[in-house]
Amino acid sequence: MQLFSANKFEFAVCADETYLYDSISVRKPDIIIFDFLSENINFKTLAKKIKPLCENSSVILNTDNSVIDKELLKIANAIINDNMCDELVLATIDMNLRMKKSLEQLSETNKDLAGSLYRLNALYDTSSRFAGTLDKKKLINYMIEGIDKSLSFSLTCTLSLCSEDKPVLLINSLYDLSDELINALKLRTVLHYKSMFEDNKYPFALDAESLRVIKHIKYPANKFNFNLFQYDNMFAPVKLGDTVFGCIEIFKDVPFSTEDATCFQTIAQQVTLPLKSATLYQEIKETNLKLEKLERLKSEFISIVSHELRTPLTSIKNSLDILLTGKCGEINESGNKFLDMAKRNVQRLSGIINDLLDLSKIEAGKMDFHFKNINIHQVIEYVKSTISILAKEKGLNLNIVEAEDLPEIYADSQRLEQVLTNLVSNAIKFTPEGKNITITSELKNADDISVHPYFQDEIANLNGDYIVVSVKDEGIGIAETDLLRAFDKFAQIENSLSRKAGGSGLGLPIAKQLLDAHKGAIWCDSQLEKGSNFCFAIPVASQKSVKTEEFSVLSR
Ligand code: ADP
């Protein structure tokens, strides 16, 4: 003992078992030396009993070699005995003290590591939640929850500029707050808001009185007071480039570490990109809604105007017909010429109006279709009978090449006649005198239909057998770059003949919509100054579609 006091160790001698327990638990000694040589102590039983209390102490046994066994070695960190010189005893104690210190440091480091790991997990969790949402309000809440999880704050004040109507101050607090304290926090937030913009260039004026507050209090039974402002605090803007989404301030009753600061700034920074995406997503959604509305209004407008034009046009046409019969008096030759011209133009105008009406009906899903099993031969015959006179007038040869015994198709014959009439009248329009126009029909499997690469998407969904009708001309042709454009609404490919020929530019888009409704396809191939080949495919009737059906088909 002299040895200990001479070397300035604090020490206590415990001869009594109860005193030993109390000493260990209260004083938490660095080293416990059991004098194994003292009598009346069953050391092994005692050591086992106090072992749990000794976790933070080094255990040294004072014993002689004769009693040392495996059990004892398990309990002891070192052994000394009376034969050892003082220096050796002191060296053993010193070594154990150093070892204990190292162990304590290690456990501290471990604790720090566990803290960092927990924080990393919280960060990872938060960024995964950010990635999964495009809702700005949710993103702000995830940010606050992420900060709470990794830093466990006493209070946060988040200014969110992301709500639809007005800015909001979100207060997430452990305890409730008086109105005065809330006012002080509002003022503070307004100052923070202003600090985020240079030269007082705020996007809008923000004042404390009108700032809406939403509180989330964890333990409402207690209240914070102004001491809160003595807490440690951190502030971060939530902004990406020039876009400001808000800012966040956090208070805690214990000082923040540098790691806390990094974590806080990281989360406040991480949320900005998803907030930007959410803003863009919202803008796109709103623009889409506006576009849909405009499209609806446009369709309604076209439909109303076309109807309104049709009635007076019918009356003009009837009047012209009566005048041309001569029932209202003799009309001289030039009068007749002008009346004829007027009639042709009225017919052209009513054709355009009918096209407009058709398109608006198809686009609104209001077009009526009367599907039944028909033979393509009927359709071709009808078109030939109505249009061959036009071809003849222009000195064109209209040839028909039909494969024999073609199976029936399930279609609306009137709509197919409309499609084929349009294709043939285009061919007549764009083919110079003396040339050929050939209408062909044949049976083809979808796998054997080959098209220009531009139209690959058109036929991608075809499956099974189809009747393919093609209208081939030797006219002006279409440049490869304009092939797809021909099917756009109001498209008229720039060349002198097409300008001269006139037209609504709606025939092909209508044909495409009608074929979509038949689950068919339309495409073309063409070469400038050599001619064009417009083709369409209609599925062969299946056994199921034998009975006649009438229904409206929604356009795609
Ligand atoms: P339009 O009433 O103007 O003929 P379409 O939609 O039927 O409207 O055709 C669109 C455009 O495609 C035409 O204006 C023309 O430029 C081009 N086109 C269509 N068919 C042919 C063809 N057989 N030969 C050359 N160009 C054609």
pLDDT averaged over consecutive 10-residue blocks of the chain (556 residues)? 74 81 84 74 71 78 74 79 84 88 88 87 92 92 94 93 86 95 96 89 88 95 93 96 93 93 94 94 94 87 83 90 87 89 89 86 86 95 94 95 94 96 95 96 96 94 95 95 87 60 81 95 95 97 55 40
Quote the pTM value: 0.55
Cα(506) to centroid of ligand 1, in Å?
Answer: 9
Cα(485) to centroid of ligand 1, in Å?
Answer: 10
Is the C-beta atom of 189 inside 6 A of ligand 1?
Answer: no
C-alpha separations of 541 from 207, 251, 461, 555 in Å:
72, 75, 17, 21
Nearest Cα residue to 472 out of 398, 413, 381, 403: 398
CB proximity list for 208: less than 8 A, separation 6 or greater: 183, 186, 187, 189, 190
Report pLDDT for 496: 45
Nearest CA to ligand 1 atom 11: 492
Is the C-beta atom of 504 inside 6 A of ligand 1?
Answer: yes
3-state DSSP assignment of residue 538: strand
Query: Are the C-beta atoms of residues 197 and 159 closer than 8 Å to each other?
Result: no
Total residues belonging to the chain: 556
Report pLDDT for 75: 76
In ligand 1, which atom is closest to the CA atom of 508? Answer: 6
Is the C-beta atom of 507 inside 6 A of ligand 1?
Answer: yes
Is the C-beta atom of 351 inside 6 A of ligand 1?
Answer: no
- What totals of helices (H) and strands (E) does the chain contain, helices first? 15, 16
Query: Which one of 358, 472, 494, 508 would you pick to mutate in the ligand 1 pocket, going by the greatest count of ligand atoms within 8 A of its CB?
Result: 508
Is the C-beta atom of 421 inside 6 A of ligand 1?
Answer: no
Question: Token pair for residue 17?
Answer: 């078992």
Cα(505) to centroid of ligand 1, in Å?
Answer: 7
CA 78-82-87 angle, 5° bins: 70
Question: Token pair for residue 250?
Answer: 């956090």
Is the C-beta atom of 418 inside 6 A of ligand 1?
Answer: no
Is the C-beta atom of 486 inside 6 A of ligand 1?
Answer: yes
In ligand 1, which atom is closest to the CA atom of 487? Answer: 6
Report pLDDT for 58: 83
Nearest CA to ligand 1 atom 12: 486
Which domains does the chain possess?
Answer: 2-106 (3.40.50.2300), 132-270 (3.30.450), 286-359 (1.10.287.130), 367-553 (3.30.565.10)
Nearest CA to ligand 1 atom 19: 426
